[in-house]
Structure 1
Amino acid sequence: MNYPQYRRMRKLVHECCNYDNGNCILLDDGEECVCVQSISYSLLCKWFRCAVLPLDRPLETALLFQEELKRCVVCGQSFLPGSNRAKYCKLCAKKIHRGQKTASDRKRRLLCGQLEAKKP
């Protein structure tokens, strides 16, 4: 985890229901115990990983799915692919597929005679 990711993670720690003024309620056995997630550069707390980290999807993806990430061909942003053929992130995929459908429809209409060919 790099420093910017660490800072984003530290902000999320305060959203945890077990966080109480720097202490962890789950680890409290009569004596106050410092929240391990708030002082660590790695993901140690299972509760934080399952319940709090999904609140920040980009951070979760960057930390948990590093081996499975791909880069979008259009914008270069990292994304978690739904299949092994995925080339675009969700935003770019929507734009690319819309353009491909438009081109396909235009070609189909041109071939069946609905549209006239451009005159030189």
Structure 2
Amino acid sequence: MSADPRELTRRERAAIRRLVTGTCANYDPEYGCLPLNCACYMLNKWWTGEYCKYFQKAVLPLDPLLEATLTGRKAPELDNCAICGKPFIPEGKQAYCSPACADTARRKRQREYMRRRRTDC
């Protein structure tokens, strides 16, 4: 993946651990890596280089910033959600990170619109 091997930072190792324990379908806390029937290779990873193929193809794309730092690619541009402030990757003219935030913003605009309309009468 990355051209020159380097030691993973503490934040990168924590992000890998969070992805493996939270979203990897091959990981079980009691048994470790289910297909290999041993401890998970990614939990003890300290250097860049070879990664678990399943982790690389299915789990790592869930965190685009981590993927960019580990692969050496350009990090995607992030916007902050106007409602909750969380960073997200916008698709087109998307201004909110989730449909829930979009609904909250719509309700807020609607309240303001009705407030102005009532005062004009």
TM-score between the two structures when normalised by the length of structure 2: 0.50
* 2:13 equivalent in structure 1: 6
| CA distance in structure 2 between the partners assigned to 1:41 and 1:78 by the alignment | 27
Length-normalised TM-score, structure 1: 0.51
**Structure 2: gaps of 5 or more residues:** 1-7, 28-32, 69-74
Say if 1:70 and 1:80, in contact at 8 Å, map to a contact too: yes
Q: State which drifts further: 10-19 or 60-69.
A: 10-19
2:94 aligned residue (82, 86, 106)? 86
State the structure with more CA Rg: 1
8 Å Cα contact 2:13-2:45 kept in structure 1: no
Question: Are 1:69 and 1:80, in contact at CA under 8 Å, matched by a contact in 2?
Answer: yes
Residue segments in structure 1 that go unaligned for 5+ positions in a row: 24-34
C-alpha separation between the residues in 2 aligned to 1:44 and 1:81?
A: 28
Question: In the TM superposition, what is the alpha-carbon distance from 1:79 to its structure 2 partner?
Answer: 0.7
Matched residue SS, 1:20: coil
Percent identity for Structure 1 against Structure 2:
24
